[in-house]
């Protein structure tokens, strides 16, 4: 598919979204990824449906025009992925995000929006979103992001990832009292892994950096999330920066 929603964002060497999570590993799926598309523009919803219909492993099971309808549809359809705009009438995407996680806990939410406001990104993460992509990305990347999030990876547009890390640094600089020692509940190795996760590295790259196996990295990430009682790698990074566990220079 050569179509796109607009020009590509500046970002990594491949020009794609930044991933923060385990790799898919190429394991074929038994069932297609069930997607609920939420946007207040019917034409945009239809465009996404056409694009995703060409993907054998992705199935659009429903659509909604606002956040309130999205919550109802999510409760009824229990989709694997909710692809949702941030700003919509009646009920915005960020507010709906929290309710969707309550009625469909297994659903993973990707915000797909024209908004590059840092505040929207932070609120979306706090509300439980696993991905945040600008509508300027190519249509190919939408499908790729859906697969990645379904496989447990967090996805974020490169320009927003840069803003996120910049804000993390500012959060520490604004804090008078800084704690630079590892959190008591994390081992030194887990702290090393968390620091590399915070830079946007995937499991394979972390494994190469630390000279350990990819499975060992996955185990460390799982242990970190369990110890911190969090649900995603992105939440772990936000937590680490807020609690002054680590510093990004």
Q: What is the CATH class of 175-242?
A: mainly alpha
Highest-pLDDT range among 24-38, 40-54, 193-207: 40-54
Q: Based on the number of CB atoms within 10 Å of its own CB, is 131 exposed (0-12), middle (13-18) or buried (19 or more)?
A: buried
pLDDT for residue 240 is more than 50: yes
Q: What is the pLDDT of residue 164?
A: 63
How far is residue 112's CA from residue 84's CA, in Å, rounded to a whole number?
A: 6
Q: pLDDT category, 26, cuts 50, 70, 90?
A: very low
DSSP state of 165: H
Residue 4 pLDDT exceeds 60 = no
**φ, ψ for residue 208 (rounded to 5)?**
-65, -40
pLDDT above 50: residue 14: no
Per-residue pLDDT band at 17 (split at 50, 70, 90): low
pLDDT band at 39; cut points 50, 70, 90: very high
* pLDDT band of 29, cuts 50, 70, 90: low
Question: Between vectors from CA 136 to CA 131 and to CA 139, what angle results, nearest 5°?
Answer: 80
pLDDT at residue 182 above 60? no
Percent of the chain with pLDDT over 70: 72
The predicted model gives 112-122 an average pLDDT of: 71
Domain residue limits, the chain: 18-22+30-158, 175-242
- Confirm if 92 and 66 have CB atoms less than 8 A apart: no
pLDDT above 90 (res 87)? no
What is the pLDDT, as a whole number, of residue 194? Answer: 87
How many Cβ atoms are within 10 Å of 213's Cβ, its own excluded? 11
Residue 116 CB burial class (10 angstroms; 0-12, 13-18, ≥19)? middle
Per the prediction, the chain carries an average pLDDT of 77
pLDDT: is 235 or 170 the higher one? 235
Lowest mean pLDDT among 43-57, 159-173, 225-239: 159-173
How many Cβ atoms are within 10 Å of 11's Cβ, its own excluded? 19
In words, the CATH class of domain 18-22+30-158 is alpha beta
Q: Is the pLDDT of residue 8 over 60?
A: no
202-222: average pLDDT:
90
- Pick from 22, 128, 24: which is nearest to 82 by CA? 128
**What are φ and ψ of residue 245, in 5° steps?**
-75, -35
pLDDT of residue 165: 59
Q: Is the pLDDT of residue 105 over 60?
A: yes
94/212: higher pLDDT: 212
C-alpha pair distances (Å), 205 with each of 51, 105, 171, 200: 31, 30, 27, 10
């Amino acid at each position: 598919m050569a179509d796109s929603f607009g020009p590509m964002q500046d970002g990594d060497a491949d020009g794609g979204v930044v991933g923060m999570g385990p790799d898919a590993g190429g394991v074929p799926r038994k069932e297609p990824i069930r997607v609920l598309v939420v946007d207040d523009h019917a034409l945009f919803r239809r465009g996404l449906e056409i694009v995703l219909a060409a993907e054998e492993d992705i199935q659009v099971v429903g659509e909604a025009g606002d956040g309130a309808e999205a919550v109802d549809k999510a409760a009824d359809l229990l989709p694997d992925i909710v692809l949702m705009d941030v700003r919509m009438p009646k009920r915005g995407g960020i507010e709906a995000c929290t309710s969707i996680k309550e009625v469909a806990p297994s659903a993973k939410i990707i915000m797909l929006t024209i908004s590059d406001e840092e505040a929207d990104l932070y609120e979306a993460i706090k509300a439980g979103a696993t991905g945040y992509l600008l509508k300027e990305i190519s249509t190919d990347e939408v499908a790729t992001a859906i697969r990645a999030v379904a496989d447990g990876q967090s996805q974020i547009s490169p320009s927003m990832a840069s803003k996120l890390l910049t804000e993390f640094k500012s959060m520490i600089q604004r804090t008078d009292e800084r704690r630079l020692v590892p959190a008591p509940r994390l081992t030194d190795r887990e702290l090393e892994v968390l620091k590399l996760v915070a830079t946007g590295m995937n499991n394979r790259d972390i494994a190469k950096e630390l000279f350990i196996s990819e499975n060992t990295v996955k185990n460390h990430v799982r242990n970190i999330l369990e110890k911190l009682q969090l649900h995603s790698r992105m939440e772990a990074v936000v937590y680490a920066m807020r609690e002054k566990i680590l510093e990004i220079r």
